[in-house]
Amino acid sequence: MAETASTGGDLHLQSLTKQFGSFVAVDDLSLTIPQGSFFALLGPSGCGKTTTLRMVAGLEEPTAGRILIGADDITDTKPYRRPVNTVFQNYALFPHLDIFENVAFGLRRRGSKNVKQQVDDVLELIELGHLARRKPTQLSGGQQQRVALARAIVNHPSVLLLDEPLGALDLKLRRQMQLELKRIQTEVGLTFVHVTHDQEEAMTMADTIAVMNNGRIEQLGDPASLYENPVTTFVANFLGQSNLVRARVTSRSGEHLTVDVQGTTFTMPRARCTSESDDIWMGVRPEKIQVNATAAGANTILGTVTDTSYIGVSTQYLVQLGFGQELTVVRQNDGAPILRPGQEVYLSWEPAHTFGLDARQDAKAGVEREEGELVPAGDAS
Amino acid sequence: MATATEPTRVTGTRPASPARRRRNPWTWLREHVVAIVAVLAFVYLLLPNVVVIIFSFNKPNGRFNYTWSHFSTDAWTNVCGAPGMCESLALSLRIGVLATIGATVLGTLMAFALGRHRFRGRPQTNLLIFMPMATPEVVMGSSLLTLFLNLKIPLGTTAILIAHVMFCVSFVVVTVKARIAGLDPRLEQAAADLYANEFQAFWRVTFPLVAPGIAAGALLAFSLSFDDYIITNFNATTSSVTFPMYVWGAAQRGTPVQINVIGTLMFLLALAAVVTGQLVSSRRAGRA
Amino acid sequence: MTATVHVPGGSMPAAPVEPRKRRASKVPYLLLLPGVAWLLVFFVAPMIFLASQSLQTGSIEQGYALTWHIGTYGDALSAFHSQLFRSFGYAATATVLGLLVGYPLAYTIAFKAGRWKNVLLVLVIAPFFTSFLIRTLAWQTILSSDGPVVGFFRATHLMDLLRSLHLVAGNDLLSTPFAVVMGLTYNFLPFMVLPLYASLERIDIRLLEAGGDLYARPFTAFRKVTWPLSLPGVVAGTLLTFIPAAGDYINSKLLGNTSTTMIGQVIDGQFLRVLDYPTAAALSFTLMLAILVIVAVYVRRAGTEELV
Ligand SMILES: Nc1ncnc2c1ncn2[C@@H]1O[C@H](COP(=O)(O)OP(=O)(O)OP(=O)(O)O)[C@@H](O)[C@H]1O
Ligand SMILES: [Mg+2]
């Protein structure tokens, strides 16, 4: 156990590819996951998350590519020789063993000493010490989930893989377990690779998020930079909501970029535009848009409120621009009067909150989750 | 328990007046016909066992124990009093145990091959295993006899044992294979993930989970072997009389009451074993 | 019965072969070897010997020689065709009766028994615990001419009904075709009930409720939902009843008379008493082939391949 605590435990995936027949489930995937980090693999259903994890765990053979932990190439290592443990999507607790023996399983296989002490400690950590002699079927979903976690972390693996560990839990328990998982990760200091398709879950828990789509990584970074600076329309839409407006670059001067949207001029930092082409999608997050009664300064455009939905902590508006496109605007309910449909308003936003994406990308990529936005946790698959 | 679900379903789909339905005996009969048939079926199934038990306390007038004469516990106090019966019972038990061991070992191995591996010849193997179950006993018995006669293999206990293993093995395969098929493959993967090599994963996870299926297959094999008359009769000699053969002979010459005692004891022992098993497993499930 | 392996449609160009070292494993063959060898030597080989025996001529004293004498089949069939047809007739009747009795029983256990399910299942297999010869002998007692069952049949004119169906001859139940068919039905009823129960139990109760919503009449719901879903159990149960019943002779011997003789009895007698091996082998082989044909046709028509 102690052998993994030091340096050189980063997980490297190099050009990892997995094909099932002619179907490419994971496509030339390369990334490095620093030791001790909480890493989230986020993506829609079927994008290859589970397959990636199973290759790291050794339960699936890659079609091509290498997997390394530190300098050790484990691509061809048997699963039971890898310093990797998994929390399975449906827990896979051994039904014929009680909780204690489930947790002790890995320790016993490796002939570890002080099995009792270690198991008791980890059961204490997950606050289930009093249920040690129950069978898995006699536990609630949340308790089973924690046992599955304990069964893995008691082995102090170099990398802990979690495949939608919270997928089967209801919203409230899920939020609670997210915090608990984060607490345990901080406490034990292991590398967690957490698979989820719940963006909120990924953002609240992870140090680094990789957004995956169709077997590839679209973007990788810390939650804030992914959210503030998406580099593809898929990421812009999948991670929160985005307004994408077609724009033409009119000048690139120094640090700034000037674009034209149907006659209105906007500026944005040049560094926030990922496209070198003149046709771009200009993007802005709904909560970054200011709503004013009068035109004030640059980056302003006139529109008409067409829809108002009151959410409690905030209100979401649809505002139609002169050329027909609707923008989503979210305003905190800080006492300002609620706007009524039909009202004309001026929308403006900071140039620094604007981002530019290549116009050849599909503006609708990754938006399937529209109705899921308000209740993001219910759609476990 | 039947009545708890039935009325809600009926009223839910068919808003008929419940009062009227209750009064009309024909309607009542029609609604409960399934349950009535089920009760009659149980009577049908269990009546002979009841008769066997009752007639184990008979003191028949003639050689045959077919009509009630008067109550006696003679047969119970002198179980081996019927000449040859206990010897035949011992032989049946011996063959039963050996055949069960043989069929369970062979059948379990085959079940793992079929349940866990893809290989060429799989459909043919399945057919080979299915065939003995689709063959009447008289055909299996007579064909084995032909083999033994042609190869000049002596009949008797060994021949019977060979035959029993042969016709029991398919039932073991089917029982164990069903259990293997119901196993979550992720459990073995979880074991591999938790540092169990292939052997340990099998021994610590797969085997304990398949064991109830193996036990069920073994029990089935034992009861098939213990109860077989037709195939056994083809391959037996006068010095290898199994219990069913003894009973058959008795049916021609005169049935000692002790046969019923054995029948009753088998019934009660097996019932006790099943009930204990049920109690233990439900106690275990309900504990803590 | 094999899990479908997901294979992408053939329209795609052949994929680069997975470098999965499929370890052209010897393991399954090693596991299969003893069992398959056993079945080949003691099941398949005897069948070949049986076929060969049926084509030999000679006598037990002078020995037999393979003369490919097909005529034995013709002789055997012309002598014993009535026993053969009777066997299939009895077996088919017992199968239908078993289904009529067994289905309600399995249905009740699966859907109406609640927590008594296990107890009732034990009661279904409980008769097995006593040797079936002993139980068949018990039927002799139950059906004996001065017993209450016969009295009931006489009093309710059921006896007349059976007589008009030629299932009994005189005024008794024992030693009649009725007793034989009843005994066959009884003996193989658990083989009918258990597969039926297994397939009924697998049915999602919500499907039945949905069926009840869609089809107002419970019988229509049964016909459209429950029955089709239970078909695998019906096929397995009827086969497990029909096949052994067709070859059985215990019931016809213990509960019937000389005019209820079934083919198994003839084979047994020819082999063990008459010692006419070719005729016995020919009959045995004919029975086997006839059953295989019936089963094959039946399984094809029922459209179920999930037997093993
Ligand atoms: N054994 C397999 N054979 C063929 N295709 C497979 C196999 N396993 C997965 N796939 C396919 O590979 C793709 C990726 O599957 P994977 O399980 O990795 O998705 P996922 O991202 O984990 O999805 P989810 O969020 O729904 O769990 C899917 O399209 C799936 O259909
Ligand atoms: Mg998955």
Q: Do C16 and A19 touch (CB under 8 A)?
A: yes
Please count the CA atoms within 13 angstroms of the CA of B11 that sit on its side-chain side. Answer: 12
CA C47/CA C73 separation, integer angstroms = 16
Following CA atoms B11, B17, B21, B22 in sequence, which dihedral angle do they give, to the nearest 10 degrees? 90
Specify the residue for token string 């957490």.
Answer: A194
Do C102 and B259 lie within an 8 Å CB cutoff? Answer: no
Q: Which of A63, A66, A76 to mutate to test the interface with C (most CBs of C within 10 A)?
A: A63
Ligand 1 site, residue A381, Cβ cutoff 6 A: yes
DSSP A56-116: HHTSS--SEEEEEETTEE-TTS-GGGSSEEEEBTTB---TTS-HHHHHHHHHHHTT-S-HH
Compute, in angstroms, the gap from residue A89 CA to the centroid of ligand 2: 7
Q: Tell me whether A130 touches chain B (CB under 8 Å).
A: no
Contacts of residue A21, Cβ cutoff 8 Å, sequence gap at least 6? C6, C7, C8, C12, C15
Judge contact between C236 and C220, C-beta under 8 A. Answer: no
From the CA of A178, how many Å to the nearest CA of chain B? 23
- Helix (H) or strand (E) segment spanning residue A289: none
Nearest CA in chain C to A60: C20
Sign of the alpha-carbon torsion through C65, C70, C71, C72 = positive
Inspect the interface and report whether the beta carbons of A80 and B196 lie closer than 8 Å: yes
Count structural domains, chain C: 2
Pairing assessment for the beta strands A208-213 and A355-358 based on DSSP bridges: unpaired
Out of C44, C122, C212, the one facing B13 most closely (by C-beta) is: C212
Instruction: Kindly give, in sequence order, each residue whose CB lies less than 8 Å from that of residue B146, ignoring residues fewer than 6 positions away.
Output: C46, C49, C50, C53, C277, C281
The band of B10, judged by pLDDT with boundaries at 50, 70 and 90, is: very low
Structural domain includes residue C251: yes
H or E element: which one contains A284? strand A279-284
Q: Is A22 on the interface with C (CB under 8 A)?
A: yes
Residues of B in Cβ contact (< 8 Å) with A154: none
Task: Tell me which DSSP letter residue A361 carries.
Answer: S
Angle at B237 between CA B232 and CA B239, to 5 degrees: 115
Find chain A residues with C-beta within 8 A of C15's C-beta.
19, 21-23
User: Could you give the CA distance from residue A64 to residue A28 in angstroms, rounded to a whole number?
Assistant: 8
CB A201 within 8 A of CB A379: no
A135 interaction partners in chain B (CB closer than 8 Å):
285
Q: Which two tokens stand for residue A316?
A: 């979401």
What is the Cα–Cα distance from B160 to B234, expressed in whole angstroms?
A: 9
Q: Chain C residues within 8 A (CB-CB) of chain A?
A: 6-8, 12-16, 18-20
Residue of A58, A94, A138 with shortest CB distance to B187: A94
Q: Are B196 and A97 in contact (CB under 8 A)?
A: no
* Contact assignment for B166 to C47 by CB distance below 8 Å: no
A226, A209 Cβ separation under 8 angstroms: yes
Read off φ and ψ for residue B74, nearest 5 degrees.
Answer: -55, -45
Ligand 2 geometric centre to CA of A41 (Å): 11
Instruction: Compute the count of residue pairs across chains B and C with CB atoms less than 8 Å apart.
Output: 288
Whole-model pTM: value is 0.80
Task: Note whether C227 and C300 are same-domain residues.
Answer: yes
Q: How far is the CA of B154 from the centre of ligand 2 (A)?
A: 62
3-state secondary structure of A30: strand
In chain B, where the domains are located: 48-62+70-82+256-288, 86-242
Q: Does C236 share its domain with C142?
A: yes
What pLDDT was estimated at residue C224? 80
CA C115/CA C112 separation, integer angstroms = 9
CA angle (A223, A229, A234) in 5-degree steps: 85
pLDDT in tens, A311-369: 889 999 999 998 989 999 999 988 888 889 999 999 999 999 999 998 888 888 877 54
Q: If one looks up domain B86-242 in CATH, what number appears?
A: 1.10.3720.10
3-class DSSP assignment, residue A300: strand
3-state SS class at A244? strand
pLDDT digits (tens, 9 = 90+) for C243-295: 999 999 999 999 999 889 999 999 999 988 888 899 999 999 999 999 999 98
Domain borders along chain A are 11-224, 241-358
Atom of ligand 1 nearest to the CA of A49: 21
CB of B190 closer than 8 Å to CB of A94:
yes
Could you tell me the CA-to-CA distances from B246 to A61, B86, C134, C265 in Å, in that order?
61, 10, 11, 18
* DSSP 8-state symbol, A352: G
How would residue B16 be classed by pLDDT, with cut points 50, 70 and 90? very low
- pLDDT at position C62 is 78
Residues C284, C191 share a domain: yes
Q: Which two three-digit tokens encode residue A198?
A: 């719940």
pLDDT at C8 over 50: no
Q: CA of B204: which chain A residue's CA is closest?
A: A105
Q: Is A54 in the pocket of ligand 1 (CB under 6 A)?
A: no
Residue A189 one-letter amino acid: G
**Pairs of residues, one from chain A and one from chain B, whose beta carbons lie less than 8 Å apart:** 69
> A47 alpha carbon to ligand 1 midpoint, in Å?
7
Q: Is A197 in the pocket of ligand 1 (CB under 6 A)?
A: yes
CB A92 to CB B187 under 8 A? yes
Residue C10 DSSP code: T
Which chain C residues touch A26 with a CB distance below 8 Å? none
Identity of residue A54 = R
Per DSSP bridges, beta strands A159-163 and A84-87 are parallel
Alpha helix locations (H) across A231-316? Answer: 233-238
- Chain C: list its partners (3+ Cβ pairs within 8 Å): A, B
d(CA A309, CA A315): 6
Q: What is the C-alpha separation between B20 and B24, in angstroms, rounded?
A: 7
Asked if C181 reaches chain B (Cβ–Cβ under 8 Å), the answer is no
**Same domain, yes or no, for C18 and C90?**
no
Q: Which residues make up the environment of ion ligand 2, defined by Cβ < 5 Å? A: A 50
Nearest residue of chain B to residue A133 (CA atoms): B288
Tell whether the model's pLDDT for residue B6 goes beyond 70: no
The list of chain A residues with pLDDT below 70 reads: 1-7, 368-381
CATH H-level superfamily of A241-358: Nucleic acid-binding proteins (2.40.50.140)
List, as own/partner pairs, every contact residues A246-254 make where C-beta atoms lie below 8 angstroms and the sequence separation is at least 24, other chains included: A246/A279, A246/A280, A246/A281, A246/A282, A246/A359, A247/A279, A247/A280, A247/A281, A247/A282, A247/A356, A248/A278, A248/A279, A248/A280, A249/A273, A249/A277, A249/A278, A249/A279, A249/A280
Q: Whose CA is nearest to atom 8 of ligand 1?
A: A51
Say yes or no to pLDDT of B125 above 80.
Answer: yes
- Residue A337 and residue B153: Cα distance in Å, rounded? 103
Q: Where in the sequence is the domain holding C29, given as residue range(s)?
A: 4-38
Tell me the C-alpha to C-alpha distance, in Å, between residue A226 and each of A216, A219, A240, A257, A261. 16, 7, 10, 21, 25
Q: Output the CA–CA distances (angstroms, integers) from residue C40 to A314, B125, B147, in the order listed.
A: 77, 11, 12
Q: CB-based contacts of A230: which residues, under 8 Å, 6+ apart?
A: A219, A236, A239, A242, A283, A355, A357
The architecture of the domain spanning A11-224 is 3-Layer(aba) Sandwich (3.40)
- Reported as a pLDDT band with limits 50, 70 and 90, residue C17 is very low
* Confidence band for C303, pLDDT divided at 50, 70 and 90: low
Which pairing describes strands A159-163 and A191-196: parallel, antiparallel, or unpaired? parallel
Indicate the residue type of A217: I
Q: Does B43 touch chain C (CB under 8 A)?
A: no
Residues of B in contact with A118 (CB under 8 A): none
- In the prediction, which pLDDT does C24 show? 58
pLDDT tens, residue by residue, C119-162: 888 888 888 888 889 999 999 989 988 888 888 888 888 888 88
Query: Between C239 and C169, where is the model more confident?
Result: C239
**C23-58 residue pLDDT tens:** 558 889 999 999 999 999 999 999 999 999 999 888
Question: Over the stretch B236-281, which tens digit does the pLDDT of each residue have?
Answer: 998 999 999 999 999 888 889 999 999 999 999 888 888 887 787 7
Q: Let me know: does A106 contact A151? Beta carbons within 8 Å.
A: yes
- CATH number (domain holding residue C271): 1.10.3720.10
pLDDT at A305: 94
Residue C146 and residue C127: Cα distance in Å, rounded?
A: 25
Residue C63 dihedral angles phi and psi, to the nearest 5°: 90, 165
Task: Tell whether C22 and C119 lie within a shared domain.
Answer: no
Cβ of A157 closer than 6 Å to ligand 1, yes or no, is no
Handedness of CA B9, B12, B14, B15 (dihedral sign): positive
Cα–Cα distance measured from residue B119 to residue B113, given in angstroms and rounded to the nearest whole number: 9
Distance, CA of B220 to CA of B235 (rounded, Å): 22
8 Å CB contact of A63 and C19: yes
Q: B244 phi and psi, to 5 degrees?
A: -60, -35
Whole-number pLDDT of residue A368 = 59
Q: What is the DSSP string of B41-105?
A: HHHHHHHHHHHHHHHTTB--SSS---S---B--HHHHTGGGSTTHHHHHHHHHHHHHHHHHHHHH
Q: Are residues C101 and C169 in the same domain?
A: yes
Q: Do C18 and A63 touch (CB under 8 A)?
A: yes
Chain C: closest CA distance from residue B16 (Å): 12
Residue pLDDT, tens place only, C174-229: 889 999 999 999 999 999 999 999 999 888 777 777 766 666 677 777 888 888 88
pLDDT at C82: 93
How far is C304 from C110, CA to CA, in rounded Å?
A: 22
Q: How far apart are CA B127 and CA B125, in angstroms?
A: 5
Q: Which residues of A touch B187 (CB under 8 A)?
A: 92, 94-95
pLDDT tens per residue across span B162-177? 999 999 999 999 999 9
B39: left (phi over 0), alpha (psi -120 to 50) or beta: alpha
Report the pLDDT averaged over residues B45-54: 93
Kindly tell me the burial class for residue B283, based on how many C-beta atoms sit within 10 Å of its own C-beta (0-12, 13-18, 19 or more): exposed
Q: Give B207 Cα–ligand 2 centroid separation in angstroms.
A: 28
Which pLDDT score is estimated for B79?
A: 87
Q: Which among A85, A96, A137 is the nearest to B193, CB-wise?
A: A85
Q: List residues bridging with B121 in a β-sheet.
A: none
Judged by its nearest atom, the ligand closest to the C-alpha of residue A61 is: 1
What are φ and ψ of residue C20, in 5° steps? Answer: -65, 115
B191 contacts A95? CB cut-off 8 A: no
- Closest residue by Cα to atom 16, ligand 1, is A48
